[in-house]
Structure 1
């Protein structure tokens, strides 16, 4: 049973919530150049094919939600393209401190929705990691037994200035129930983190905030996608397929004719595609992170249940003897490399370590084991803060009519917070060919570009 719509742009998927979309093209089905709305009971002979460019926070969130939201019975294929592989870009290099607040605004845009969806995806990744699918070796990842994905020990932020204290007090008064902010005095803060420096005798504790190991999380989320695909194949209900291609896509028209939709989740890399070059209001910013380890001769380990620390330099706890400290901000950089040359590393450490020791003096006993870097895609500032860029970009690509092109970039320094909910929205929009499902705050950048 199918409903044929001669003008697909007049159709709203809200009218038929139990239907999926099959985009038929002249190349695949002769004399078929319309959008066919078919009920879930009808299985297509041809699989729907989607390309996702990028295997970081945005790309893997989109891939997961495409799989979840596609018709139960439909044949469905996703090809993920990333030159380095899972977490090879800035996502894998992030600090991993997850909470819905900012010192500049009372609550991050759509804080409750984003917080909820991020925790949900983290749980999905952890479940996949602990399932039997890990033991049978599907797929091969860098995860090892005992590696953590989420450390649930909270985050503490000492007040370093009156301005910072006022902003955090505003946050505390407007916090969401599932991620509280508690104002605590010096003694209570130092019970949480021994030797914590609290210059104004006040700190802010977020007990439900979490610290994520980004690389482990991304590999586990990819594992969840593969496990889901395998379960659908085993049940025989449909043929789902997910492939990871370690290759670059140098221009979008390379993929023309091969896919029903292409979703660009390349971070800064999106701005370097020829079809989008000069059209995206993105700022690039390279950040260096330092990896510190406590020498064996030092017995005062970082307490296992103590929170990570937010300050001018954040301290992300990876274990009793392992910390990450970050991050520097080098604006307008075009350097994608994770490798940090000696001169850049020395300069970064001169900046980061004094800031870290100002709130955690014991860090002077720790040894620097290395540095790494990532290039962030920073979106423009607006009334809601710094929001990612989403939307259909067909008007920029001008490719074949049979393929839809979508963009999801500009996660900036809040990628872990925004990626889950926005990946869900992007998947819904791409599957339904309906950009209106994306909040206008995230697509308004296109109107400014055209002006």
Structure 2
């Protein structure tokens, strides 16, 4: 992807400016109040740094642009040494639905589902727009490919107790993301040769499987398009820059930015100010890439959904499947590369679980593997939830800059990133931490 050229950095940082603080506590501002909120005009742009270009960082960047007042001159700098989707977000399996493995509706699942679908629609519109434009930008993937690779997910029950739990939870499903209980015959009509241990499979027809890297790159293009649109139609103007460079410490941003939002996932612990001070655990996951050999004629049907079980099968095409994921707790291996030994170990863990549901996977050939480090959040009474909030007290010094954290997305980053990115953006724009859900800021207490 082409990166925008950066203007020269001023020798002396201009005086810092922060939006006026709100004195009244509000649970959640309306879009109207955000769009009409009056910011005093500054002599320079209001400058925000977003650290990380994965699900969290790009969602925050989009919503900062989308919900900032038209007359506000805003500059956003995104920093990520690996580029767009270069971390764990870009290699995720891409299975999207609002339920736990036991098909229980997750925390604020309805809102998360709707906000995520909004961003997916925005990204898909960008792809459609670029496809219709004869002067396409240079991208890292083929624009003819679809962001949404497959619709529908099957969740089989593995034993009698599991069947009872799934049956009870499925009754509380969302009307716009249904969970249907189907029998063995119906399941085999959807996925030929699937194994159904208890004559019952739970089908989520509205769930989707996406290509995460395609989506993230398209979302960045959407941010660029929004900047262009707002800069030509508004008085203030917007700016967006992508910096493919490493971040050594948060204090390096002091005096240059009005706010810094840390969205680095597990790599946040590598910053000296945050190391060992966040309630997160690291977990490395390996995903195996399998393809069906050319001499095998029976492919995975185009209409067939992906499968979510002890191992998940994210179907990319008739002869292309991702199988995941392993769980290596407390890993400090941040490399996306997978050695032959690590790949062999992962296959020994994943293939028996996958073949227990889809025996035909034994006919598929291993063609590669990828890995990423997830930042797993603490367990609360609401489940394992991401952590958000102001972290000024963790960065030593008298701050003219405000520091924020958005992390701990764990294995559900794709579901949570839309809603939480919007909430974080609102909190930053208003400079008001009370706009964030208390469930996600309680870790600070």
**Fold-level similarity (TM above 0.5):** yes
Q: Determine the structure 2 residue equivalent to 1:10.
A: 23
1:411 to 390, 409, 412: 409
Would the alpha carbon gap of residues 316 and 152 (structure 1) be closer, same or farther in structure 2, given more than 3 Å must change?
Answer: closer
State TM-score, norm by structure 2: 0.91
Residues 325-358 of structure 1, C-alpha deviations (whole Å, 9 max, x = no match) = 0000000001110100111110001111111111
What is the aligned partner in structure 2 of residue 429 from structure 1?
Answer: 427
Q: 1:72 aligned to 2:70?
A: yes
1:348-367 map, 5 Å: 348-367=346-365
Output the aligned Cα RMSD.
2.3
Structure 1 stretch 60-69 or stretch 272-281: which is displaced more? 272-281
- Mapped pair 1:60 → 2:58: yes
Q: What TM-score, normalized to structure 1?
A: 0.90
Helix, strand or coil at the partner of 1:52: strand
- The answer to whether the aligner puts 1:379 opposite 2:392 as a matched pair is no
Per the TM alignment, residue 43 of structure 1 is displaced from its structure 2 partner at its CA by: 4.8
Q: Is 1:274 matched up with 2:272?
A: yes
Q: Which residue of 1 aligns with 2:238?
A: 240
Q: Is the 8 A contact 2:22 2:430 kept in 1?
A: no
Q: What is the match of residue 369 of structure 1?
A: 367
Deviation at 1:103, TM superposition (A): 3.2
Larger relative contact order, structure 1 or 2 (CA cutoff 8 Å, min sep 6): 2
Alpha-carbon shift at residue 318 of structure 1 (Å):
0.5
Query: 1:302 is matched with which residue?
Result: 300
1:234 is displaced (CA, Å) by 3.3
Q: Write out aligned runs for 1:30-429 (5 A).
A: 39=38, 43-104=41-102, 106-132=104-130, 135=133, 140-235=138-233, 237-429=235-427
**C-alpha spacing 1:342/1:6, structure 2 compared with 1 (3 Å):** closer
Question: What does the per-residue CA deviation read over 1:33-55, in whole Å, with 9 as the maximum and x for residues that have no partner?
Answer: xxxx9736x75431111000000
Query: Structure 2: any 5+ residue segments left out of the alignment?
Result: 1-16
Partner of 1:441: 439
> Structure 1: 5+ residue runs without aligned partners?
22-36
Change (3 A) 1:7 1:200: closer
Judging changes above 3 Å, is the alpha-carbon distance between structure 1 residues 206 and 401 closer, same or farther for their aligned structure 2 residues? same
SS of residue paired to 1:284: strand
Say whether the 8 Å CA contact 2:227–2:239 is kept in structure 1.
yes
Query: Does structure 2 retain, via aligned residues, the 8 Å contact 1:257–1:400?
Result: no
Cα 1:396–1:104 change in 2 (3 A) is farther
The CA deviation at 1:172 is 1.1
What is the alpha-carbon distance in structure 2 between the residues aligned to residue 88 and residue 5 of structure 1? 31
Cα shift at 1:262: 0.2
| Pairs aligned (count) | 428
Does the 8 Å contact 1:256/1:400 carry over to 2? no
Q: Secondary structure at the match of 1:83?
A: coil
- The structural deviation recorded for 1:106 is 2.4
Q: In the alignment, is the contact (CA less than 8 A) between 2:77 and 2:241 conserved in 1?
A: yes
Could you list the per-position Cα deviations for residues 270-311 of structure 1 after superposition, in whole angstroms to 9, with x for gaps in the alignment? 122111111101010000000111111111111111100001
- Poorly superposed stretches of 4+, deviation over 4 Å: 4-7, 11-21, 136-139
Superposed displacement of residue 398, structure 1: 3.1
